[in-house]
Chain A
Amino acid sequence: MRGGRRGRLGELGRAIPTLLVAVCLLDTALRFAPIDPLTFRAWEALTPYRPSGAAFQPNRRYQTNRSYGDLTAIGNLRSLRRYRAEAFTTDVLGFRNAAHVLGSPVDAILVGDSFAVGVGVLDDETLASRLSEPGDCRIYNAGGEAPGAGPDRILALARHLHMRHRLVIRLYSEDSEVPDIPTAWAMTTRRLVVGAPADARRLFGRLRGILTVSPLKILAERAWKTLEDDRILPNREAGYVVRGTLYNGDTMLFLTSRVKRAYERREAAAGYWKWLGDELRKEGFDLLLVLAPGKYTVYRPFLVSAGPVGPAADDYLERLERESRAAGVSVLSLAPVFRAEAARSMADGKYLYWPDDTHWNARGVALAAGAIREQWPRLGTLCRDEPLLRAQKP
């Protein structure tokens, strides 16, 4: 058995390393190719190569008619996909705005996660666009930086904008974690990143994308997931998603981790929001915190089989709203509006969230924008008004 003769065994000793090198080179080469055709929505296409400090690749236009929900992708549930159009435009700073927004006076900056950015909706259906609609208001959409931009990033961004009024609207979605107050070291690091030359940040983003995104892997995963269809092979991803049935018989998907979380009591601390408000106030900015309910919070009462909710495990947003208000933060919760509207519109088979996605749809975004304007009328007058008065309460 001991070591073979080179002549006859030599083939395998060359063939396998050659194969490994070939696949490695192919993998590397494909990393330089555009990944848009391999993605199902803008988020996947535009975030991996984003420069540091930006949410997306700058100056990009992503358009597809075959976008579908993240939950069907996470749970590999092809049959439950709902295809839709998505048009996604980014500006020179790497945020989801039309190019002309940068040239105009800006009244407020909207920051937050993917709920603020808008997922599965067209550019003119995002929350920033809806809030800008009624008059001359201009809301700059700076959403997309998970878990949310800190004051340093917001202020750095504001320096690039022509700010007519100094207002920051921070959308906090219930499904995400409240960020920790960063340490001095973390703040210094962030400032260094934000202050780095644009070319260096772009190069870093490009390198990060090349290192982390493998088109070959995406293709292989797609092929493999086709096999894991619960017929040929068990669908191992299905457990990440819960299929709920509403009273009207429609199917609604939820992320399993979010469903589990609904039955746990979460700490509703306002420390971060107070700190953020104070930091912004030092630079003359006001903060409005908007609390967006998660999909399960809104639709759980309408599910045929919803698990029991433990004592006080269900009022996270209400507690967070109370705590934040007590800490002097201007805060507005969208939960009551969404619950009421969900009950009303479900009878017509209309929803506020995509049934196959964690995010709200265009109807939900419009409702959120309407609720913010209605419950915080100051925003409506802001755009025609003198600079905003401080610390207004909704």
Chain B
Amino acid sequence: MLFNSFAFLYIFLPITYLVFWHLRGKSPRYVWLALSGYAFYSFWNYKFCALMLLSTVVSYLAGLGLLRWQDPVRRRLCLAIPVAADLALLGFFKYANFAVRNINEVSSWLGARSTLPLLDIVLPVGISFYTFHTITYIVDAYRRVITPTRDFAKFAAYVSFFPQLVAGPIVRFQQIERDFETVDRADRTADVNLAWSFFVLGMVKKVLIADTIGAVIDPALARYAELSTLSAWLCVLGFTYQVYFDFSGYSDMAVGLGHLFGFRLPQNFNSPYQATDVAEFWRRWHVSLTSFLRDYVYLPLGGSRGSRLMTARNVIITMVLCGLWHGANWTYVVWGLYTGFVVALHQVISETWARLPLWTRRVGTFGHFVVGLAIFRSTGLDMALSLLGAMFAWRGGTGIVGMKVLAVALCVAAASAHWGPNTFEMRHRWSPAWVSGLAALFGACLFVLYGSRPAPYVYFQF
């Protein structure tokens, strides 16, 4: 079930909202939130609810163990078992066939005749997110950053909280614990306007901007080998804005939905296209993931404490893992290598970079991301090479159908992303005229939802 679907807007959300606020006390609300999260998740595939439950139960029990035991060996076990279970789940469902394919390729290259069969696996939606929720919970509990909860319903509600369940943000228990603690005292009306403001803006970003761009560039990218240089640049530029407005729109809707239930989810995008260097860019882009990687991968690897070479190594490893997190495909590995290399390079030339004019730094930072997305968007390395070839070596080819619409959408997207405030910077105090305008935009979104095929979120595939 998508946030931009009528099953969600007309049925799931009203029922969940009304029952939640009708209930009194913490426990009933925890239970209801957990149940609604599982109901929400079951719309994709009810069988995968068992996986989420498994991950939840294992982490919950490990949390109890961390509360009870103080000796290092047992605590390490309480850390290792749930993290290993989560990574095993993730590894099996996301990377098993990737590994099999590569083993087969290598063995075929070595002359072996037999091949391993591919497994019949469907990737459970959101597994990359909820396993990371439970990992942060356990690692933070192990590090004594948080006190694990004894309340299973509360923990289950945290893991399965539907606004952030399938595509984040990756909310740490620490960030939302206070809202869970005060869930029985939450005021229904306090944030309702803020909530709808976030939700409407997120919906507009997703449906009117990202999906419009996608409607034009997706068919063009399906014929990537025929694209001219200009078309290739426009497609990749289009994808750069599509992915931002798609994911930040989803995150805004998630934040809005969180507010409807009295929860403050953290900011996931902080105007990344206004960043002036790559390090800043990655502090602003998909904040919940990049901060996860910083705290749970980069810093444990040594961070920037060692030599420049070691720091570069840590950065590259982190970014390759970041790439692999997005999917089991060599394009993500190459994208991770490329991004890691650029970030490492920036660490070397940061002083020189800082002396450049502001617009040069912004354009350079944005440009590195655009080029990287040519690899990221590709379905295989051949497509990546073809796209990059078209972008950097002049060639004629086919144009793009819907160029005028794309031009308008890109102008709106660029103005908003490069110069406009992000949703967390807005005051959300709308005059009646603005309210009418936003309502009209929301009405336009509903028209698109009725009229066109629903476009899934780009990040659902991760």
Which A residues contact B (CB, under 8 angstroms)?
1-6, 8-13, 15-17, 19-20, 23-24, 27, 214, 216-217, 219-225, 228, 230-234, 236
Contacts and interface: CB of A to CB of B under 8 A. Distances in A.
Nearest to A24: B10
Contact of A3 (B10, B194, B451): B194
Instruction: Report, nearest first, the 3 A-B pairs whose CB atoms are least far apart.
Output: A224-B451, A9-B193, A220-B450
B427 interface: yes
B358 interface: no
A46 B453 CA distance: 24
Interface in B427-444: 427-430, 432, 435-436, 438-439, 442-443
Contacts of A231: 401-402
B254 to A, nearest CB: 16
A246 B435 CA distance: 57
Nearest to B262: A3
Contacts of A216: 450
B233 to A, nearest CB: 18
A232 B409 CA distance: 13
Interface of B: 6, 9-10, 189-197, 199-200, 215-216, 219-220, 259, 264, 401-402, 404-405, 424-430, 432, 435-436, 438-439, 442-443, 446-448, 450-453
Contact of B193 (A10, A220, A236): A10
A224 B264 CA distance: 36
Contacts of A19: 439, 442-443, 446
Nearest to B440: A19
Given A234-B216, A236-B453, A20 B10 contact: yes
Nearest to B10: A24
Contacts of B193: 3-4, 6, 9-13
Given A214-B450, A234-B402, 20 more contacts: A1-B424, A1-B427, A2-B191, A4-B191, A4-B194, A10-B193, A13-B189, A13-B192, A13-B193, A17-B196, A19-B439, A19-B443, A23-B443, A217-B450, A233-B215, A233-B216, A234-B219, A234-B220, A236-B219, A236-B453
8 contacts: A1-B427, A9-B197, A12-B439, A16-B196, A19-B443, A214-B450, A233-B216, A236-B215
A15 B216 contact: no
Contacts of A220: 447, 450-451
Contact of B438 (A4, A12, A221, A223): A12
Contacts of B442: 16, 19
Contacts of A4: 191, 193-194, 428-429
A42 B430 CA distance: 49
Contacts of B197: 9, 12
A211 to B, nearest CB: 12
Given A232-B405, A236-B219, A16 B199 contact: yes
A359 B401 CA distance: 31
Nearest to B452: A224
B190 A233 contact: no
Contacts of A232: 402, 404-405
Contacts of B401: 230-231, 233-234
A20 B451 contact: no
Nearest to B11: A24
Contacts of B404: 232
A354 to B, nearest CB: 26
Nearest to B447: A220
Nearest to B195: A13
B194 A221 contact: no
A141 B97 CA distance: 51
B216 A3 contact: no
Contacts of B435: 11-12, 15
